[in-house]
Chain A
């Protein structure tokens, strides 16, 4: 039985990755889960320089999900290269760096800082709803998206995944733009914009009022988008959005995803990602599947 998957010539031992921003750089979760059992760790967004993030409250729970408004707080690329890469390299898993910026120049700066760094893939974050400049504003207009992807791709020395926002009229349009800009793979979905109001206090729960929604409640929305994008482009797609167990993950693979990411489920169970990987294996052996390609994109 072969659980391996291939993303732009990088071989993952299984299709299970962690969604950026939900897993730090793996250090905290390594107390609960064996990182060796994961296909890849996708680290929290890294910028060229440290970012402060948004004022609290940054978190709100909603029915079957949550809102976050962290705003990409991160200690910057230098810190990441010095501290997090050596930590993650102790494990037999692939490293995917999520990169973020407020402007095209900042995306370029972080890409250049990461040249030569010992990582396997880059994930360009043009879909974070929690920053006022950059983030999602680059991922909602196909022309802008294509331009920034092209600029980053030119400087990247690793295959480039582009992470897409679901907060658009037609996600396939942005997907095609990213691919024509040079994306080697796509990942989707980032969070859906959402809001919660405390009626007793007559105030929004999040300081920034609007945040990004994730969790099991968004899964059907994410699945439909992954399905549509897989039909629209030829590059590998990493599916995510509310995946909590192996069955959820298999749905994304059957919709056409090459790999999947576990996000908010890490908060509901710090061992979730490893359990999804085990569950996929169990399903394959139970169903007599030798390779995930036998079921990938099986929904026509």
Chain B
């Protein structure tokens, strides 16, 4: 993984608002796209003089032919509000690819459960595309689903909403429990509370489970030690960096609070 991260000025290929506060942007970034893997993320710089830190945004799709990365993100703060206004042909500065992706080689010839919650759904799309074997895809949202149709090419898709407006009424873990769906391996991304329950579900059913974690981040390359998550290492509690050691961790490694 050494010496492949780059900074690059990317041009916006397309930009869409696909659900309330959810934006879908394709960025022409050939150098970064050529070495990106499913589950990795990019740091995007606001470059406005006020918001000095880059924003970590997961990679939703990688198009090596076009040399582009697709990002799907939620407008939550100053940085993502700026990015939500990006239009075709605008440019933005990126750094990446950051972190380690999903362990796709472990999914070969297995039954993989892909479980996403809210804005944790996007990085699973590129993963789903690249996994060989049986896939069950469970996507949870508060109220407004997005990207679900695109997952249908890659496996059985089940949608859950907290308010029951679409699909199963309840969260993704409740769905797995109720339908008694079990697989051999879980790849997931979503709110910490969902990942925690999913981790318990996996442990109970003896399924390998990988979770993509999030934490407030600065450098994105492992130098500042800002974005840590507490893990067990040799039986002791310690901190690992989301940006460099993660963002994907084995759920058994994480100290869930």
Q: Which residues of A contact B223 (CB under 8 A)?
A: 22-24, 27-29, 44, 266
Q: Which residues of A contact B78 (CB under 8 A)?
A: 61
Interface size on A, residues (CB 8 A): 36
Cβ < 8 Å to A, chain B residues 217-232: 217-230
Query: What's the nearest-Cβ distance from chain B to residue A44, in Å?
Result: 7
Complex Cα spacing A55 to B216, Å = 12
**Residue B147 CB within 8 A of the other chain:** no
Q: A24-B223, A31-B5, A70-B225 given as contacts; is B216 within 8 A of A56 (CB)?
A: yes
Q: A64-B49, A66-B53 given as contacts; is B7 within 8 A of A271 (CB)?
A: yes
Q: Which residues of A contact B218 (CB under 8 A)?
A: 59, 66, 68, 267
Residue pair A70, B221 in contact (C-beta under 8 Å)? no
**Residue B105 CB within 8 A of the other chain:** no
Complex Cα spacing A86 to B207, Å = 42
**Residue A79 CB within 8 A of the other chain:** no
* Partner pick for A29 among B45, B221, B225, B238, CB 8 A cutoff: B221
Most buried by B among A23, A56, A68: A56
**Residue B234 CB within 8 A of the other chain:** no
Residue pair A52, B50 in contact (C-beta under 8 Å)? no
Name B4's closest neighbour in chain A (CB-CB).
Answer: A31
* Partner pick for B95 among A44, A61, A73, A270, CB 8 A cutoff: A270
Q: Which residues of B contact A279 (CB under 8 A)?
A: none
Most buried by B among A31, A55, A63, A268: A268
Query: What's the nearest-Cβ distance from chain B to residue A211, in Å?
Result: 10
Residue pair A266, B52 in contact (C-beta under 8 Å)? no
**Residue A32 CB within 8 A of the other chain:** yes
Q: Which residues of B contact A58 (CB under 8 A)?
A: 216, 225-228
Q: Which residues of A contact B215 (CB under 8 A)?
A: 56-57
Residue pair B224, A267 in contact (C-beta under 8 Å)? yes
**Residue A60 CB within 8 A of the other chain:** yes
Name B243's closest neighbour in chain A (CB-CB).
Answer: A28
Interface string of A35-76 (1 = CB under 8 A from B): 000000000100000001101111111011110101001000
Complex Cα spacing A268 to B53, Å = 6
Q: Which residues of B contact A205 (CB under 8 A)?
A: 216
Residue pair A59, B227 in contact (C-beta under 8 Å)? yes
Q: A66-B52, A215-B52 given as contacts; is B221 within 8 A of A59 (CB)?
A: no
Q: Which residues of B contact A60 (CB under 8 A)?
A: 216
**Residue B54 CB within 8 A of the other chain:** yes
Query: What's the nearest-Cβ distance from chain B to residue A269, in Å?
Result: 8
Complex Cα spacing A241 to B220, Å = 21
The binding surface of chain B is classed by DSSP as loop
**Residue B3 CB within 8 A of the other chain:** yes
**Residue A220 CB within 8 A of the other chain:** no
* Partner pick for A64 among B3, B50, B238, CB 8 A cutoff: B50
Interface string of B232-248 (1 = CB under 8 A from A): 00000011000010000
**Residue A264 CB within 8 A of the other chain:** yes
**Residue B2 CB within 8 A of the other chain:** yes
* Partner pick for B219 among A57, A63, A65, A266, CB 8 A cutoff: A266
Residue pair B227, A63 in contact (C-beta under 8 Å)? no
* Partner pick for A270 among B50, B219, B230, CB 8 A cutoff: B219
Residue pair A22, B224 in contact (C-beta under 8 Å)? yes
Complex Cα spacing A266 to B218, Å = 10
**Residue A216 CB within 8 A of the other chain:** yes
Q: A32-B7, A57-B215, A73-B239 given as contacts; is B225 within 8 A of A44 (CB)?
A: yes
Complex Cα spacing A27 to B227, Å = 18
**Residue B51 CB within 8 A of the other chain:** yes
Complex Cα spacing A266 to B215, Å = 19
Q: A28-B221, A58-B216 given as contacts; is B53 within 8 A of A68 (CB)?
A: no
Q: A56-B216, A58-B226, A70-B226 given as contacts; is B52 within 8 A of A31 (CB)?
A: no
* Partner pick for B45 among A31, A65, A268, CB 8 A cutoff: A268
Query: What's the nearest-Cβ distance from chain A to residue B173, in Å?
Result: 24
Cβ < 8 Å to A, chain B residues 88-133: 95
Additional pairs, 12, CB under 8 Å, beyond known A28-B219, A63-B50, A216-B52: A22-B219, A24-B225, A27-B223, A31-B4, A44-B223, A44-B225, A52-B239, A53-B225, A53-B239, A58-B225, A58-B226, A70-B224
